[in-house]
Amino acid sequence: MITRILFLLGLIVAMPVLAAEEGAKLDRQLCSICHGPGGTTSSELFPQLAGQPAPYLINQLKGFRDKSRADQNAKRFMWGVSSRLTDEDIQHLASFYEQQPPLHGTVTNTAESQLGARIFTQGMADKGVPPCMSCHGERGEGHGEIPRLAGQHETYLKRQLKVFYGNDRPAATAMHEVVKGLSDADIQAIAQYLQAQ
């Protein structure tokens, strides 16, 4: 009994000494569990956040918080986490991730990547698909409210492009029109190209 009391007292005394820093960063304590340290992860379940433009991240986090973005994994993982974020938290996180260096994948299928590059840079006029780079930037780097696509996971990109067939991301009005002209093979090719940029 004495052993136990001494041990617990010691632990309680040690706690304030350990408290060197008040309020550790939200991204370290919460977001990186899924999105990886600094917003880079090799898990295709969760998107890369590093290098995303801050205005895009702000829009998405607010979309999760007000539940207007409602794709399946947004509901599963982001609705709850975002519900406690203040506007200030969101601004802080967006600025943080915008400044992190993004990762780049490697080409695993050259033919697909070449087709993806053509669609990305030239579009498919006959199917009403504009060049992706016209909005997402020459190298898919994104800007403002348009997301960075370069270096994003192939599986994640494919999943999101298919989300645009429905109405679970209503804010992305342009993408709802764009995907109408894309086949599964086109989506695969675009995702293969972008993940290596």
Write each residue from 24 to 43 as x if it is in contact with another protein (CB under 8 A), else as -, in one continuous string: x---xxx--xx-x----xxx
* CA–CA dist 116, 123 (Å, integer): 9
The pattern of x and - marking residues 103 through 142 that bind another protein according to CB under 8 A reads ----------------------------------------
| Nearest distance in Å: CB 165, another protein | 17
Given the complex with another protein, which of 15 and 111 has the nearer CB atom?
A: 15
Confirm whether residue 175 is marked as ligand binding.
yes
73 near another protein, judged by CB under 8 A = yes
Contacts 24+ apart (CB under 8 A), 156-161: 156/44, 156/45, 156/46, 156/47, 156/48, 157/187, 157/190, 157/191, 157/194, 157/195, 158/187, 158/188, 158/191, 159/73, 160/71, 161/187, 161/190, 161/191
Residue given tokens 């070449």 in the structure block: 114
Options 76, 127, 143, 180; binder of another protein; rule CB under 8 A: 76
Q: Which tokens is 64 given?
A: 């999760």
Is residue 143 marked as binding? Answer: no
Phi, psi for residue 174 in degrees, rounded to 5: -60, -40
Q: Which of 79, 100, 130, 181 binds another protein (CB under 8 A)?
A: 79
Residue 168 binds to another protein (criterion: CB under 8 A): no
Task: State yes or no: residue 13 binds another protein (CB under 8 A).
Answer: no
Dihedral sign from CA coordinates of 104, 107, 112, 117: positive
Enumerate binding residues for another protein (CB under 8 A).
Answer: 1-4, 7-8, 11-12, 14-15, 18-21, 24, 28-30, 33-34, 36, 41-45, 73, 75-77, 79-81, 83-84, 155, 159
